[in-house]
Each structure stands twice: as structure tokens, then as C-alpha cells.
């Protein structure tokens, strides 16, 4: 029994013939390569057009965080889920920002954050006209951008307590002037038996400056290890530039001693080159980098951290002093008094 040919059958045959013709033209004609390339280019162009700018911004942050964040487990979560959650749903810049902020918040890292165009612009100009300083508000550490003209010219103060001891109070560790000032003061104290370095209320500054300062007081010992993404480790050692050999060093610290200042205090402590007096320090050893993104925005991300000698990780717990004394805000500076008393004992024992 013969089957009637329907319109659907004819349509199917025509479509099949068209597909076969295109296939032959693409893969068996002399123009095969050129035609295929053009079609693939058109496909990529079409596909790219489907991902609008706000969504591209989100994907860029997602990818940068995955590649650059120091902890590959992304705070014990499947990072892919964020892309699956938001792709196809982001239509505006506000949508992108909400998605990005939610995604980065899941890392539980206050130093990793999305920078809007205005915030990114400020960070980009940081070396030319501004600096970021750490400030304390309601017991929490935050940041504030200030003009360079508002920063005190002096990076540190020097106080000659006696023929045998001197005190250097480091105000900030920002800029090359801090290194030059510190080296000059160290050289001037070469005849002293005891050096007291006051790092209280010092929220840090430039990490490389702190490394150079430590280098002036060590021989060839390890300064720090820097941990990079993928658990790669960079070992930094002093290069025998010690200009304060065979001298006693006392460092004063408190809960507002943070970041680069902690590196300076901790590296000397765990190399057994200094005695620390005061309170536990703040506990910030993470290192941030800034990645430029679309629309003049950026991503500040924790891309590394430093580990002190003896594999000491101070994150969130700080450095414990050798001699604990609460740093009270009053005229009678008990921490400094204890340091001066200890310095006198050191001098006496050496005579």
C-alpha cells in the first residue's frame, strides 16, 4: 500500500538538501577554509553581542578572582556556582555591581572588593597625589584616602635618652623618605648599646619599606616568606647590610600596630634580634593588588600574604609581645617606662 507524500515530507527533504549543500560547500569546496572562517567569525561576533557590557564586567571579576585570589578553594566553595547563578540575569551596571559584591562577600575577606570608577581612579592616582592610611573606627580597621600635603613631613622622631640608649618613634612607613630617615637614625645610634623602636599606633604603610628597614638590622637571616596563589612561596633573606650589629633592640607594640609595622616587629622578634613590649598587634599580613577592569573600574584582591620567620602566620591573631603591658592612654607611659628600665638592665649587665 503506497503512502501519500505530504507537505511535511517535501519540506523535510528540501531542508535536508539545503543542509547537505551547505555542508559540501563548507568542507569540500576550494573556498572551504575562507568560508568556514567567515562563518565562525560571524558566530563569535553574534555570541559576543549576546553578552552585554554589564555581564562582561561580572565575568571579568569572576575570572580575575578565580585566577588571582590567594586561596584556591575560594573560601571552601564552588566558584563556578556564581557564574551559573548570574549569567543571563545581569542587564545593567547596578545588576552587575550587586552580583559582584555578593560574590566577593562570600570570600569573607574585607580587603577584597570591587572598585567603582571613582574609587579606582583614586587608587590609580595614589602614588602621585594621595595615599591610603589605616584608621580605626568603632574598634574596626578601615582606610582613608588623604592628600599628601596633609601628611606630616616627619616619618619618625628621635629621642636621645642617654649615652647608652636612644628611642626612634616611627610615625609612618610610607615613601622613600621613611627608609632614608630610618637608615640615617640607625647610623647615628651606632655608638648606643640599646635602641628602642616605638611602633605603637602605626598602621603600617609600604611593605617594601618595612623589608628594607629590617634588612638594616639583620645579617643573612630570613626576613619573611611571601605566599602566592597556588601555595607558591617566595623566600626573602637579608643581604648583610646590617648597620646595627651586636646591639640590643626593644620594640614597643600595641593593638594598633598593623601590616608593614607588624612585619618590622615580627621579623626581628622571630629572628631573636628584638624584645617586644606592649600588647598583641592587629594581625594583618595579607597583601592586596589592584586589577583594572571594564568601564574604568577595578578589583582590589588579596593576591598574597607574608609569613614571619619560624612559619608564624599572624593573620587575625597578631604578634604576641615578649612582655605584656596594657597600653593605657595616660601621662604615665608604662610601656615606655618598662622599655627604658629593661634598657638600663641590659647596659648594666654589659659593663
pLDDT tier for residue 307 given thresholds of 50, 70 and 90: very high
Query: Does the pLDDT at position 211 exceed 80?
Result: yes
User: Does the pLDDT of residue 33 top 50, yes or no?
Assistant: no
Q: Looking at the domain assignment, is residue 66 inside a domain?
A: yes
Which range has the worst mean pLDDT, 46-55, 56-65, 203-212? 46-55
Q: Which residues does residue 298 pair with via DSSP β-bridges, in sequence order?
A: 115, 292
Mean pLDDT of the chain: 82
Do 315 and 327 share a domain, yes or no? yes
Annotate 47-101 with DSSP letters as a single string: HHHHS-HHHHHHHHHHHHHHHH-S-TTTTTS-THHHHHHHTTT--SHHHHHHHHH
Comparison of pLDDT for 10 and 174, the residue scoring more: 174
The residue among 149, 174, 196 that closes a domain is 149
CB-based contact 142:110 (threshold 8 Å):
no
Predicted local confidence at residue 36, as pLDDT:
47
Separation CA 133–CA 117 (nearest Å) = 20
Grid coordinates of 304:
598574597
124 and 157 in a single domain? The answer is no
Domain boundary among 149, 169, 188: 149
The 8-class DSSP code of residue 234 comes to E
What is the pLDDT averaged over residues 51-77?
93
**Strand arrangement of the beta sheet that strand 194-198 belongs to:** 156-160, 165-170, 194-198, 248-253, 275-278, 323-324
Nearest to 342 by CA among 244, 250, 245: 250
Regarding whether 316 and 172 lie in a shared domain, the answer is yes
* Residue 302 in grid coordinates: 588579596
pLDDT higher than threshold 70 for residue 4: no
Q: Are residues 277 and 136 in the same domain?
A: no
Q: What is the pLDDT of residues 238-276, one digit of tens each?
A: 998 888 887 899 999 999 999 999 999 999 999 999 999
Alpha helices by DSSP H, listed for 91-235, are: 93-105, 117-124, 176-188, 207-215
Q: What percent of the chain has pLDDT over 70?
A: 75
Do 134 and 258 reside in the same domain of the chain? no
- Model-level pTM? 0.75
Lowest mean pLDDT among 117-126, 241-250, 339-348: 117-126
Contact 326, 313 (CB under 8 A): no
253 with 202, same domain?
A: yes
C-alpha span between 192 and 344 (Å, rounded) = 12
DSSP state of 308: B
| Confidence category of residue 160, pLDDT binned at 50, 70, 90 | low
Tell whether 208 is covered by a domain. Answer: yes
Looking at 26-35, 98-107, 211-220, 255-264, which range is the least confident one? 26-35
Whole-angstrom distance, CA of residue 72 vs CA of residue 41:
34
Q: Report the alpha-carbon distance of residue 88 to residue 157 in Å, rounded.
A: 58
Domain that includes residue 186, residue range: 152-286+305-350
The tens digit of pLDDT for each residue in 286-304 reads: 999 999 998 899 999 999 9
CATH number at residue 134: 3.30.750.44
Nearest to residue 255, comparing CAs of 86, 351, 136, 336?
136
Count of CB atoms situated within 10 Å of the CB of 109 = 17
Same domain, 273 and 125: no
Higher pLDDT, 318 or 204: 318
Pairing relationship of beta strands 156-160 and 165-170 according to DSSP bridges: antiparallel
pLDDT, residue 348, reads 87
Amino acid at each position: 500500500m503506497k503512502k501519500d507524500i505530504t507537505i511535511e515530507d517535501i519540506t523535510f527533504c528540501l531542508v535536508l538538501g539545503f543542509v547537505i549543500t551547505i555542508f559540501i560547500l563548507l568542507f569540500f569546496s576550494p573556498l572551504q577554509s575562507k568560508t568556514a572562517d567567515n562563518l565562525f567569525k560571524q558566530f563569535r561576533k553574534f555570541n559576543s553581542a549576546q553578552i552585554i557590557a554589564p555581564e562582561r564586567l561580572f565575568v571579568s571579576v569572576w575570572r580575575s578572582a578565580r585566577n588571582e585570589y590567594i586561596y584556591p578553594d575560594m573560601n571552601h566553595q564552588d566558584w563556578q556556582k556564581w557564574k551559573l547563578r548570574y549569567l543571563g540575569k545581569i542587564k545593567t551596571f547596578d545588576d552587575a555591581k550587586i552580583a559582584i559584591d555578593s560574590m566577593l562577600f562570600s570570600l569573607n575577606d574585607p580587603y577584597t572588593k570591587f572598585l567603582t570608577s571613582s574609587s579606582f581612579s583614586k587608587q590609580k592616582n595614589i602614588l602621585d597625589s594621595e595615599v591610603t592610611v589605616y584608621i580605626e573606627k568603632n574598634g574596626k580597621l578601615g582606610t582613608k584616602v588623604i592628600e599628601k600635603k596633609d601628611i606630616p613631613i616627619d616619618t619618625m622622631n628621635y629621642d636621645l635618652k642617654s649615652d647608652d640608649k636612644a628611642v626612634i618613634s616611627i610615625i609612618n612607613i610610607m615613601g622613600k623618605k621613611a627608609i632614608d630617615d630610618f637608615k640615617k637614625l640607625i647610623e647615628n645610634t651606632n655608638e648606643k648599646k640599646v635602641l628602642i623602636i616605638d611602633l605603637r599606633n602605626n598602621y603600617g604603610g609600604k611593605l617594601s619599606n618595612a623589608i628594607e628597614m629590617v634588612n638594616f638590622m639583620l645579617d643573612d637571616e630570613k626576613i619573611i616568606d611571601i605566599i602566592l596563589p597556588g601555595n607558591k612561596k617566595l623566600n626573602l633573606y637579608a643581604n648583610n647590610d646590617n648597620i646595627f650589629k651586636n646591639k640590643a633592640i626593644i620594640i614597643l607594640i600595641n593593638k594598633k600596630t598593623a601590616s608593614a609595622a607588624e612585619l618590622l616587629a615580627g621579623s626581628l622578634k622571630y629572628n631573636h634580634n628584638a624584645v617586644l613590649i606592649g600588647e598583641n598587634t592587629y594581625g594583618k599580613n595579607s597583601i592586596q593588588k589592584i586589577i583594572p577592569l571594564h568601564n574604568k573600574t577595578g578589583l582590589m584582591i588579596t593576591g598574597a600574604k607574608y609569613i614571619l620567620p619560624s612559619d608564624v602566620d599572624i593573620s587575625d591573631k597578631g604578634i604576641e609581645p615578649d612582655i605584656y603591658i596594657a597600653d593605657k592612654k595616660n601621662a604615665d607611659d608604662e610601656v615606655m617606662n618598662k622599655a627604658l628600665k629593661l634598657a638600663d638592665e641590659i647596659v648594666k649587665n654589659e659593663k
